Structure 1
Amino acid sequence: MMDMGAWAEASVFARPAFGVAHADAAPQTGFRRRCPWALALAFVVAAAGCQSKSGASDVLDPAAIAAPASQAGSITTTAPAQLTASSAAAPKGNLTLGSGPTKITMLLPLSASGSAGEDGRKMYDAAKLAMTDLGDKLLTLTIEDTRGDSGYAKDLAVKAITSGGAKAIIGPDELAAAQHLAKLSGTQRPPVLALADNFAGGPGVYSVRLSEADSAAAGAAAVAGKGAKKFVLLVPAGSNAGAIEARVGNALSIYGAALAVTLPYSASDGAKVVSDMGSLVEAPDAVIVASGDGSPMPVLAALKAKGIPGKAVTLIGTDRWLERPIDPLYEGAYIATLDQSETGPIADRFKATYNYQPDVNVAYAYDMVALSAGIASSAGPNGFSKQVLENASGFRGSTGLFRFRADGSSQRSMPFFRIEKGKLKLVEKQTSGF
């Protein structure tokens, strides 16, 4: 197997992700080089199913599609500024933005306490900016406050689904509410673009955020693409274990690689699961460690004692590791995740408008409003169909290239990193696992 340290300096993949972005294309370093109107057109073109032969990435070239200077300048002067997302009072009651013919309902925890409320208000600011950029004449966006209450969020979502007015629902952010919606039957209901973290998705209820299954699968595919064949998956026991195993297995099969064994573990048996791995698998090429809601540290400590990672065995982590400070035990591991230094083509204007730095919550909310505007523009109010939302070419947004699957999960093409000296070092500009 190729030495992974040498690979860190190797050239990028040659295979495109969903056939739209080639590694040898001119790089776009930083989302801020792209403009929101180019983003909107990418959504429109993909949704309409009329991509050019060279793919959706071409329409994002700001040299080919430039925003009118008068429009670009107006955004930062007409929107109100605020110091931080948390310093502003939560908006009261239902809020309506835009005057377009396509009605969209957005459910956010605007008045929730703590980080949930902060995130909700960030996403509200993102929705306002997306409407200013793209949606004012296309959408009527009604934003309702879930208060961070899963039961109330569920009731609001069911009302929006059954009222017959909304063509799509963006949200909720509460996991239990999203899981409830995924269990509902009915083929005529509007699609739900759920913003809940760690949500697996369901038919017609799409998971917007990057999942651990997707991160693990993309990381595994990147390593398999360099020649690794035998993989071990260590995954927390629980309801998500099967989904992660299935996604990783499917990603590996593209490259003729496979999981030699999947070993579920609990928080207290990190050393035991690594010992079991050693007795069950001889000379694996790579070990994937999913962490779920817990810390990967016990497993990583046990692997370190076995010399993993090393020249013979690659260690693959997931985006969930990065919810904690990077520990020395992370050193040498590879992770496929969103680039946290790039918050989207809206980054500079968002900060100028609201006077705080956008994060991934902003990017997800902006993208879903932008996607809704793109579909409304290209296909009209009745264009929110499974065929459009689940088209294989996918969409390009602030968080990169993504597509929705029939089971409600999302797939993303994302950068691939190696942890070196406590920091993420870019290895590949995007993975190619699908």
Structure 2
Amino acid sequence: MARPKSARDRLVRVTAPIAALCAALLSLGGCIGGDFARRAAGPQADLTPPAAVPGASAPAAPAMPAAGGGERIGAGSVKVALVLPLSGQGSTVGAALRNAAQLAYDEAQQPDLTLLVEDDRGSPDGARDATQEALRQGAEIVLGPLFAGSVQAAAAVARTAGKPVIGFSTDATVANQGVYLLSFLPQPEVDRVVEDAVAGGKRSFAALIPETAYGNAVEAEFREAVARKGARVAAVERYPAGAPGPAVERLARVIAGPGATADALFLPETADAMPAVAAALTKAGFSPARVRPLGTALWNEPALYALPALQGGRFAAPDRVGFSNFSGRYQARFGSVPPRVASLAYDAVLLTAALSRRYGSQRFAAATLTNGSGFAGVDGTFRFRPDGQSERSLAVYEIRNNAATPVSPAPRVLAKPAI
């Protein structure tokens, strides 16, 4: 997993986290509540909090044991469940998500929230038990879990109680009405990179896709995105994970040599497996100068930037600046580099704080959570769809000269939701 560099030397005023909370609700056109409006300066366009002066953050809220044996952050009237793998599978990431939630709570100037932190033990059974305990204590919304099976288990409990879930899984199949995914889903990345390619004149797309669950998800979105943009799919080849050679040979007539009929090649592969794919493409005579390689945020890994087959290739991913600033503040507070997904817990807590300040008893209603204007977070603007999936504003990066340079910035405002 790529880890952006921290912004070590950026200095800003102490009020920056407050301004970030004010910007969390884009549809309001300003800050959330009169007190924040008086105290927070800065334009609405500042959607992500810049790096703060070390030591200048608000005092940390003490973590208190909860009645059910979990942990509490804060002592506000609005109770929010935070269900994470604090032991068992994924416990290292779970601990980082918990730290990010603490950071968000403190930078929101200790809002009227109580975070009920519950350990799901990295399993669906644990997620069910943890969610039941948090709801017993009065939780109005569930943030987490991390894994798909755990999200499903937590959602089953929460749905019975009539409470929404904001999960961190990347498996879009677990999204549903009332079960929203804040995670980095591949479908918006596919849409964005295809949109950029068509805008740049590409009209004929080929794809080389691994036979994995991820490959299945992105192939469907790829075909739909190309069709929506009025372009055509010239050919698609699938290959067993780790063995791309024969599929590349079958695709060569479309993507290699003077007779190539495609002008873009979609390669949704992981950083670990991409070198073998790139080598097979080079052996087959593939020229990225003639057929542009396209990818998803899986390409956001410096180890790929020197591969000859990817030079000039483009991929879609969240803007790096917001996470870089968040990472700097996290490191200053906790002494370690956060995993990429840590920003999800930060955004989720900041969102619940913002909605609680603005919407009263309707703070976590479906109409509030699916506001079409969306919300601003560390990784840019996002919104929840009624079906539970999320859409994000994404930047497009181009690989060249051992670096990935942004060529199309992430939009500040999402396009109008499709009807």
TM-score, normalised via structure 2 length:
0.77
1:325 to 303, 306, 310: 303
Q: What letter matches 1:107 in structure 2? A: V
Can you give the 5+ residue segments of structure 2 that lack an aligned partner in the other structure? 1-9, 31-36, 47-51, 63-67
Letter in 1 for 2:80: I
Does the CA-based 8 Å contact 1:295-1:321 persist in structure 2? no
What SS does structure 2 have at the residue aligned with 1:206?
strand
Q: Who is 2:273 aligned against?
A: 295
- Identify if the C-alpha distance between structure 1 residues 107 and 31 changes in structure 2 by more than 3 Å, giving closer, same or farther: farther
- Residue 265 of structure 1 aligns with an amino acid whose one-letter code is Y
Range with greater deviation from structure 2 (227-236 or 369-378): 227-236
- Match runs of 1:84-123 below 5 Å: 93-112=69-88, 116-123=90-97
**Is 1:124 aligned to residue 98 of structure 2?**
yes
1:103–1:140: 8 Å Cα contact kept in structure 2?
A: yes
The 1:104/1:77 distance shift into structure 2, 3 A limit, reads closer
Helix, strand or coil: the match of 1:190? coil
Alignment of 1:243 onto 2:221: no
**What are the ranges of 5 or more consecutive residues in structure 1 without an aligned counterpart?**
1-29, 53-58, 82-91
Q: For 1:132-183, what per-residue CA distance to the aligned partner results, in whole angstroms no more than 9, with x for missing partners?
A: 222733211101122333431243235546x483221111112321244567
Alpha-carbon spacing, 1:300–1:154, altered in 2? closer, same or farther (3 Å): farther
Separation in structure 1 between the aligned mates of residue 108 and residue 195 of structure 2, nearest angstrom: 35
Counting aligned pairs with the same residue, the percent is: 26
TM-align CA RMSD: 3.7
> Partner residue of 1:35?
16
2:19 & 2:76 partners in 1: Cα distance? 20
For 1:228 and 1:307, the matched residues in 2 are separated by: 20
TM-score, structure 1 normalization: 0.75
- Aligned counterpart, 1:195: 168
Whole-Å separation in 2 of the counterparts to 1:433 and 1:251: 17
Find the residue that maps to 1:124 and give its secondary structure.
helix
Could you say if the C-alpha distance between residues 345 and 36 of structure 1 is closer, same or farther in structure 2, counting changes exceeding 3 Å?
A: farther
Specify the alignment match of 1:212 in structure 2: 186
Q: Distance in 2 between matches of 1:324 and 1:178?
A: 31
2:227 and 2:240 mapped to 1: Cα distance?
27
Using the alignment, how far apart are the partners of 2:71 and 2:111 within structure 1?
A: 16
CA distance in 2 between partners of 1:324 and 1:149 (Å) = 32
| Cα distance between partner residues in 2 of 1:178 and 1:339 | 26
Q: Shift of the alpha carbon at 1:213?
A: 2.9
State the number of aligned residues. Answer: 379
**Is the Cα–Cα contact under 8 Å of residues 167 and 179 in structure 2 kept in the other structure?**
yes
Deviations 1:284-341 (A, max 9, x none): 1211111269613333222223443433210012222346832632433211113446
Q: How has the CA–CA distance of structure 1 residues 353 and 146 changed in structure 2, closer, same or farther, with 3 Å as cutoff? A: same
What residue identity is the alignment partner of 1:328? A
Matches within 5 A, 1:152-301: 152-157=126-131, 160=134, 163=136, 165-181=138-154, 186=159, 189-198=162-171, 200-203=173-176, 204-279=178-253, 283-291=261-269, 295-301=273-279
The correspondence for 2:348, drawn from 368, 372, 376, is: 368
- Letter of the structure 2 residue corresponding to residue 426 of structure 1: P
CA gap of 1:334–1:429, structure 2 versus 1, over 3 A, is: same
SS of 2:323's partner is coil
Alignment of 1:415-434 (within 5 A): 415-430=395-410
Deviation, 1:226, is 1.2
**Contact preservation (8 Å) 1:181, 1:205:** no
